[in-house]
């Protein structure tokens, strides 16, 4: 349910829709600080296969704001996810 | 045809006719009410003009009859014969019908007139499109276009609120128009039968002020968004699956491609389509009625907000008062709603940036293959024919001699493994089957096999359990016959076939084939 506050030295990560199905979690805490460019490889380590099956098409947000880390020249690769930040992995939902 | 079938068919026909009759009666009542309202308005206007006869008394004294008759005739001339400018901007019944929203400062008379003058296209008349259309037609949007190529199915009715049991098999567009007309006959409805294609999208969208994406595939979402950008139409997009929903107002303000002041499009937010094998439909993944209903209702709300803001907000005049955002609805989370701040247009977006490669000409030519862009999955066919058995032959094994092993029928002669998820297994299952959900099977590492894991005792529970009965053939079944094939492959990788000594195979076509060819009473969910 409501994600608990991240303990010191961690950030919260929320998984929506297909990301939640894949990880079998709604949220968790991961060590901070972390560079945005390494976020996907970190998650791939934890959940083998998630990069291709889920993350490749996802929107990613930090503290409720969209960040662009897609591609080698993406504007937010340098961004650092800090202690207490809230990251969200948002796969497109296309049904209706 | 047996007598039972005839009786059932007649019953169905009667229900269908009765419901059509009810619809017609409702429409007649509505029409009669309106015509009566108009008549009584007319009468009250007339009586206002001739009611008191103030001169009647005087005329009866000493005035010539002919002269008196002439004057009276002139006075009682009903005003209707002289064309007069419309006294009130809305029709009398509209004040009554829309009164509850009309008195709100957010709408007011101006807002209502803007709704009346607006035209909106709803692409998809399913779980999102039905509630969205109901509220927009209810609110008095002047023209509502409906696009859909499907027909109503019984499994739609728990969420697609415009359709009804009597209209199963009717085109959705037609069914929706019947419901919407009986809700509000003042609204002009435009049917667009058939699925939207790149070739038809531009001409279909052209006459409308705003578009609602109520479709259900990634390909249609990119097509709808691209078309809106190219034609400069605001897009209200929503989606839903299981317990989750998403809502975005896109391309708003609808500036031309390359103008950074315009709102982002679907490609700006989701530049890459999800891999096709990960795309789950409501039919496979499930959907809760109120979840998709909530999203459709919110689409109607955003549409009303944009339309009542006035024409300046619709064209490229004003910037949108709301920064672009993505609303996420998770019915079982707390909080249920989250709003994500989106960026402006993506500098390299394929359709709305200065680097755009998608133009109206490209779209019209049909050379853009949206289905290919989003990828397709070939039907799974990974097993050889001797690893598969038809539902009919499996039925024989349950009753007769096993054609593969020559064993006499017995409940214990084999293992029937059902790999549907637990919740589906609990709905209905074949007697004697064991359930190991496909999600458990696919998350078991493939190297969890042949020696190492078995010896170290770290093997997954289900694998070691199946390893215990080395002699029994395993028949794998699922809903449609795809997951069962993958499971057979996986079990062989795990060495459960003892190097080919034990037969492992799947039931072709799954429980759907079982229902079709063996047991018609097996539930169809």
Q: Comparing C-alpha atoms, which of B187, B57, B215, B201 is closest to residue B118? A: B187
Tell me if B500 is assigned to some domain: yes
Residues B155 and B222 in one domain: yes
pLDDT at B317: 46
Contacts of B172 in chain A (CB under 8 A): none
pLDDT at B376: 83
Measure the CA–CA gap between B482 and B141, rounded to whole angstroms: 45
Full residue range of the structural domain in which residue B23 is found? 1-29
Measure the CA–CA gap between B308 and B326, rounded to whole angstroms: 21
Tell me if B61 is assigned to some domain: no
Tell me if A1 is assigned to some domain: no
Identify the band that residue B51 occupies on the pLDDT scale cut at 50, 70 and 90. Answer: very low
Tell me if B186 is assigned to some domain: yes
Measure the CA–CA gap between B492 and B504, rounded to whole angstroms: 8
B454-466 mean pLDDT: 73
Whether pTM > 0.90 for this model: the answer is: no
Domain CATH for B221: 3.40.50.720
Contacts of B196 in chain A (CB under 8 A): none
B181-197 mean pLDDT: 97
B113-130 mean pLDDT: 98
Tell me if B119 is assigned to some domain: yes
Measure the CA–CA gap between B101 and B485, rounded to whole angstroms: 56
The residue out of B374, B398, B424 marking a domain boundary is: B374
The residue out of B374, B399, B421 marking a domain boundary is: B374
Beta strand B504-507 pairing with B388-389: parallel
Q: What is the pLDDT of residues B394-443, one digit of tens each?
A: 998 888 766 666 666 666 789 999 999 999 999 999 999 999 999 899 88
Q: Comparing C-alpha atoms, which of B22, B266, B285 is closest to residue A17? A: B285
Identify the band that residue B56 occupies on the pLDDT scale cut at 50, 70 and 90. Answer: very low
Measure the CA–CA gap between B407 and B409, rounded to whole angstroms: 6
**Is residue B236 predicted with pLDDT exceeding 50?**
yes
Tell me if A41 is assigned to some domain: yes
**Is residue B74 predicted with pLDDT exceeding 90?**
no
Mean pLDDT of chain A: 93
Residues B418 and B464 in one domain: yes
Strand partners, B145: B121, B190
Residues B305 and B397 in one domain: no
Task: Decide if A2 and B335 are in contact by the 8 Å CB cutoff.
Answer: yes
Annotated binding site of B for ATP: 127, 148, 155-159, 172, 216-217
Q: Which of B216, B278, B343 lies at the smallest CB-CB distance from A95? A: B216
Residues B332 and B406 in one domain: no
The number of distinct structural domains making up chain B is 3
Chain B closest CA to A36's CA: distance in Å? 17
ipTM of the complex: 0.94
Per-residue three-class SS string for B363-413:
HHHCCCCHHHHHCCCCCCCCCCHHHEECHHHHHHHHHCCCCCCCCCCCHHH
Domain CATH for B419: 3.40.250.10
B340 in contact with chain A, both atoms CB, cutoff 8 A: yes
pLDDT at B405: 65
Q: Between B411 and B326, whose confidence is greater?
A: B326
Measure the CA–CA gap between B110 and B314, rounded to whole angstroms: 15
Q: Comparing C-alpha atoms, which of A13, A81, A23, A90 is closest to residue A50? A: A23
Tell me if B21 is assigned to some domain: yes
Q: Comparing C-alpha atoms, which of B182, B142, B188, B94 is closest to residue B304? A: B142
pLDDT at B401: 65
Identify the band that residue B40 occupies on the pLDDT scale cut at 50, 70 and 90. Answer: low
Residues B365 and B512 in one domain: no
Measure the CA–CA gap between B375 and B322, rounded to whole angstroms: 34
Task: Decide if B271 and A70 are in contact by the 8 Å CB cutoff.
Answer: yes
Measure the CA–CA gap between B47 and A71, rounded to whole angstroms: 77
DSSP B406-445: -PPP-GGGSEEEE-S-HHHHHH---TT-EE--HHHHHTS-
**Is residue B83 predicted with pLDDT exceeding 80?**
no
Measure the CA–CA gap between B388 and B299, rounded to whole angstroms: 47
Residues B367 and B250 in one domain: yes
CB atoms within 10 A of CB B95: 14
pLDDT at B15: 78
CA distance to B217, B223, B282, per residue, from B375 (Å)? 11, 14, 19
Residues B160 and B196 in one domain: yes
CA angle B512, B513, B518 (to 5 degrees): 115
Residues B413 and B498 in one domain: yes
Tell me if B53 is assigned to some domain: no
Identify the band that residue B324 occupies on the pLDDT scale cut at 50, 70 and 90. Answer: very high
Measure the CA–CA gap between B518 and B315, rounded to whole angstroms: 60
- E strands along chain A, which residues? 10-15, 27-31, 34-35, 59-62, 65-67, 80-81, 86-90
Contacts of B279 in chain A (CB under 8 A): 94
Q: What is the pLDDT of residues B4-31, one digit of tens each?
A: 778 888 888 887 887 788 778 777 777 7
CB atoms within 10 A of CB B471: 11
Cβ neighbors of B512 (< 8 A, separation 6 or more) are B479, B480, B481
Query: B130, B228, B374, B478: which is the annotated catalytic residue?
Result: B478
The number of distinct structural domains making up chain A is 1
Cβ neighbors of B357 (< 8 A, separation 6 or more) are B350, B351
Cβ neighbors of B396 (< 8 A, separation 6 or more) are B403
Task: Decide if B343 and A66 are in contact by the 8 Å CB cutoff.
Answer: yes
The residue out of B320, B343, B374 marking a domain boundary is: B374
Q: Between B361 and B69, whose confidence is greater?
A: B361
Contacts of A68 in chain B (CB under 8 A): 343, 346
Judged by average pLDDT, the poorest of B191-205, B330-344, B450-464, B509-523 is B450-464
Measure the CA–CA gap between B98 and B10, rounded to whole angstroms: 42
B371-392 mean pLDDT: 90
Domain CATH for A46: 3.10.20.30
Full residue range of the structural domain in which residue A40 is found? 10-90
DSSP B457-515: T-S-HHHHHHHH--SS-EEEE-SSSSHHHHHHHHHHHTTTTGGGTS-EEEETTHHHHHH
Quick check: B250 and B237 in contact, CB under 8 A? yes
pLDDT at B52: 46
Q: What is the pLDDT of residues A5-38, one digit of tens each?
A: 889 999 999 999 999 999 999 999 999 999 999 9
Chain B closest CA to A31's CA: distance in Å? 23
Residues B348 and B395 in one domain: no
Task: Decide if B341 and A65 are in contact by the 8 Å CB cutoff.
Answer: yes
CB atoms within 10 A of CB A89: 25
pLDDT at B116: 97
Nearest chain B residue to A4 by CA: give it. B334
Contacts of A66 in chain B (CB under 8 A): 269, 326, 340-343
Tell me if A18 is assigned to some domain: yes
Residues B477 and B359 in one domain: no
Residues B138 and B251 in one domain: yes
Active site residue B478: yes
CB atoms within 10 A of CB B65: 8
Size of interface A-B (CB pairs under 8 A): 104
Task: Decide if B273 and A57 are in contact by the 8 Å CB cutoff.
Answer: yes
Interface subset of B 65-84, CB within 8 angstroms of A: none
Cβ neighbors of B150 (< 8 A, separation 6 or more) are B126, B171, B172
Chain B closest CA to A79's CA: distance in Å? 16
Share of chain B above pLDDT 90, in %: 64
Measure the CA–CA gap between B143 and B121, rounded to whole angstroms: 8
Task: Decide if A96 and B328 are in contact by the 8 Å CB cutoff.
Answer: no
**Is residue B202 predicted with pLDDT exceeding 60?**
yes
Residues B131 and B252 in one domain: yes
Tell me which of A16, A17, A76, A94 to substitute to probe the interface with B (most B C-beta atoms closer than 10 Å): A94
Q: Comparing C-alpha atoms, which of A42, A11, A19 is closest to residue B246? A: A19
B285-304 mean pLDDT: 97
């Amino acid at each position: 349910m409501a994600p608990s506050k991240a303990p010191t030295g961690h950030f919260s990560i929320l998984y929506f829709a297909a990301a939640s199905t894949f990880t079998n979690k709604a949220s968790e805490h991961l060590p901070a600080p972390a560079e945005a460019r390494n976020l996907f490889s970190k998650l791939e380590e934890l959940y083998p296969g998630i990069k291709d099956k889920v993350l490749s098409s996802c929107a990613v947000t930090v503290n409720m704001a969209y960040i662009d880390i897609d591609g080698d020249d993406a504007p937010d690769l340098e961004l650092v996810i800090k202690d207490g930040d809230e990251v969200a992995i948002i796969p497109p939902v296309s049904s209706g | 045809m047996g007598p039972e079938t005839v009786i059932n068919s007649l019953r169905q026909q009667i229900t269908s006719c009765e419901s059509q009759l009810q619809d017609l009666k409702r429409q007649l009542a509505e029409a009669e009410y309106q015509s009566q309202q108009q008549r009584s308005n007319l009468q009250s206007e007339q009586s206002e003009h001739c009611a008191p006869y103030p001169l009647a008394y005087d005329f009866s004294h000493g005035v010539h009859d002919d002269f008196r008759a002439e004057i009276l005739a002139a006075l009682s001339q009903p005003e209707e014969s002289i064309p007069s400018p419309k006294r009130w901007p809305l029709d009398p019944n509209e004040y009554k019908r829309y009164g509850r929203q009309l008195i709100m400062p957010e709408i007011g008379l101006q807002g209502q007139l803007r709704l009346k003058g607006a035209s909106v296209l709803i692409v998809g008349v399913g779980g999102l499109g039905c509630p969205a259309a109901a509220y927009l037609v209810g609110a008095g949007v002047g023209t509502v276009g409906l696009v859909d190529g499907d027909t109503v199915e019984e499994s739609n009715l728990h969420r697609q609120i415009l359709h009804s049991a009597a209209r199963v098999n009717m085109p959705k567009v037609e069914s929706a128009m019947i419901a919407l007309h009986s809700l509000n006959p003042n609204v002009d409805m435009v049917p667009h039968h058939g699925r939207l294609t790149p070739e038809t999208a531009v001409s279909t969208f052209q006459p409308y002020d705003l578009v609602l994406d109520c479709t259900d595939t990634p390909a249609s979402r990119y097509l709808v968004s691209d078309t809106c950008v190219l034609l400069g139409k605001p897009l209200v997009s929503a989606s839903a699956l299981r317990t989750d929903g998403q809502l975005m107002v896109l391309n708003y303000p609808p500036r031309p491609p390359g103008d950074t002041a315009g709102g982002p499009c679907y490609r700006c937010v989701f530049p890459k389509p999800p891999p096709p094998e990960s795309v789950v439909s409501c039919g496979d993944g499930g959907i809760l009625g109120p979840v998709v209903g909530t999203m459709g209702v919110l689409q109607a709300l955003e549409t009303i907000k944009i339309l009542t803001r006035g024409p300046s907000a619709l064209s490229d005049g004003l910037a949108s008062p709301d920064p672009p955002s993505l609303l996420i609805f998770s019915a079982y989370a707390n909080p249920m709603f989250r709003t994500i701040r989106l960026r402006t247009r993506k500098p390299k977006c394929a359709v709305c940036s200065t680097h755009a490669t998608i133009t109206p000409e490209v779209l019209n030519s049909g050379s853009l293959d949206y289905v290919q862009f989003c990828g397709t999955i070939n039907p799974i066919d990974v097993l050889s024919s001797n690893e598969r058995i038809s539902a009919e032959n499996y039925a024989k094994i349950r009753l007769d001699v096993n054609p593969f092993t020559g064993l006499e029928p017995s409940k214990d002669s084999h293992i029937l493994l059902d790999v549907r998820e637990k919740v589906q297994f609990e709905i209905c299952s074949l007697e004697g089957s064991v359930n190991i959900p496909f999600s458990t099977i696919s998350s078991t590492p493939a190297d969890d096999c042949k020696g190492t894991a078995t010896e170290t005792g770290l093997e997954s529970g289900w694998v070691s359990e199946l390893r215990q009965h080395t002699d029994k053939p395993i028949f794998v079944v699922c809903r449609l016959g795809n997951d069962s094939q993958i499971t057979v492959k996986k079990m062989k990788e795990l060495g459960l076939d003892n190097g080919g000594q034990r037969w492992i195979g799947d039931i072709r076509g799954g429980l759907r084939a079982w229902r079709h060819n063996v047991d018609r009473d097996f539930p169809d969910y």
